[in-house]
Amino acid sequence: MFKRDVNQIKDLILKNLRAQGLETPLLQKRLIDSWPEVVGPMIASYTDGMFIKNQTLFVHLTSPALRSDMMMMRSELVRKLNAHVGSQVIAEIRFH
């Protein structure tokens, strides 16, 4: 009898994505897609666009009043978004 090297398919896929340099873009996409679920539909409706650069999430909000409220919640939002994705994807959020 011989012992097989058994791996979960999830681990093999992540290893392959990491080797090809695709893990970070995939996590970034998952984080941006999770925005409406984390902040709720009302805030998501005021969101005009988002992108990630150098571990900073840039969010364009169409309401100046909402933008100032969200500035006070930045650290909590970073924590919630990273927790939702399951990895440290962003370190900061900037609203404009």
Domain ranges in the chain are: 24-95
* Residue of 33, 75, 72 whose CA lies nearest to 52: 33
24-95: in CATH 3.30.70: no
Predicted pLDDT at 94:
97
User: C-alpha distances in angstroms, 54 versus 51, 66, 90?
Assistant: 10, 24, 8
Predicted pLDDT at 92:
97
Predicted pLDDT at 72:
96
Predicted pLDDT at 45:
97
Predicted pLDDT at 1:
59
- Tokens at 46, concatenated: 């005021």
Task: List, run by run, the mean pLDDT of 10-residue segments along the chain (96 residues).
Answer: 75 82 89 97 96 97 96 97 96 96
Kindly give the residue spans of alpha helices, DSSP state H, lying in 5-73. Answer: 9-20, 23-39, 41-45, 64-71
